[in-house]
Amino acid sequence: MKKHIICLGDSNTHGYCADPSDCADPALARFNEDERWTCLLQKRLGGEYLVVEEGLSGRTTVFEDPLHEAMSALPYVYPCLKSHEPVSLLIIMLGTNDTKERLGANAACIGLGMERLVRKAMTVDCWGPNGKPNILIMAPPAILPGLDTVPCGVPMGKGCVEKSREVARYLKQTADLLGVHFLDTAGVGCEFNQVDYMHLTRASHARLAEALAELVPELV
């Protein structure tokens, strides 16, 4: 059986493209299978692996959104992992949506939200031959200051930019506490676009896939 790599995330895992000039299918507002980091990772890893996309726009770690249903990853992580078992590696990239003003979470609480989510994932009976949880937390890049100047920044609310700058630090602390793997995506050259300031560029999808193609075989 192939090694199952589950990629649990938000719109940056789903592949939302906010810049029509940066993707092959602008009418779809989504990077295609030759552009998304998940699909590029699959191609780089080859036939011994199955990379599963589990990206949902708006998803948070554990926070329910009063405006949109089913955004919290917490109740979803069990059926997600069980439906794809046996799982060789769970990759989680969340935190950007957690900064929304209406959710009322500061960066430290976002780190605690990730801790709660990872602890739950660890309890799921889904892991490979040795039954040991294998999880990689990936910190998204910080939201850029321009968010305050575009329409989509209005419902995001105040303070998102400032909070997002601290998220990576708290996610690293969570990874260290729980003994799981960690990757700061900004550290491998990932950055958000200059259109809505909170979604990965096409080049960043490629950089992330390249970095993970080197890292994943070391983790599974």
Burial category of 158 from C-beta neighbours within 10 Å (exposed 0-12, middle 13-18, buried 19 and up): exposed
Q: Would you give the DSSP letter of residue 31?
A: -
Q: Are 180 and 50 in contact (CB under 8 A)?
A: no
Note the pLDDT tens digit of each residue in 14-73.
Answer: 999 999 999 999 999 999 999 999 999 999 999 999 999 999 999 999 999 999 999 999
Task: Name the pTM for this structure.
Answer: 0.97
Number of domains in the chain: 1
User: How many whole angstroms separate alpha carbon 28 and alpha carbon 52?
Assistant: 21
Which CATH number goes with the domain that contains 48? Answer: 3.40.50.1110
Q: What is the mean pLDDT of each run of 10 residues along the chain (220 residues)?
A: 97 96 95 98 97 98 97 98 98 98 98 98 93 97 94 94 98 98 97 96 98 97
The pLDDT, as a whole number, for residue 130 is 86
Q: What range defines the domain where residue 176 resides?
A: 3-219
Among candidate residues 56, 40, 39, the one with its CA nearest the CA of residue 92: 56
The pLDDT, as a whole number, for residue 205 is 98
The pLDDT, as a whole number, for residue 107 is 98
User: How many whole angstroms separate alpha carbon 50 and alpha carbon 7?
Assistant: 11
